Structure 1
Amino acid sequence: NQIVKKVNVLGDYFLIGDLDLITKPLLNQPFKKAAFAATLKNVSLEECIYKLTLTDFLEIVFEA
């Protein structure tokens, strides 16, 4: 049904804040780029992961 039930962020990045600020809002959302963009539009991703923008995050998740 493509609904997000669990989120795990792995990779080579500099964590500078609480990763739950990114992962928790995505739970129970459709696994669609537009849904992720709308859900995270007011979240300061760069406060969690150094220099991470919403555009970069969406590209990593949906085009990598």
Structure 2
Amino acid sequence: PGQEDEQMQRPEVREEDVTEAKNRLGGSGPAKSKTIEVMEECKMGKAAPSVFSRARSGAET
């Protein structure tokens, strides 16, 4: 409200910053989310963690 005329200026992105960020992201191997982890466990026959279960490990989000 009232600030439409002031465009936010994005700071310039240097090529080396981009490269550095990409290296940092890819450095720890392939990204593995909890969802993919649980899906793989289910494929191997492990029961999926239930949101309704009272017996929680505390690792659920």
TM-score by length of 2: 0.26
The structure number with the bigger radius of gyration is 2
TM-score by length of 1: 0.25
Q: Which has the higher helix share?
A: 1
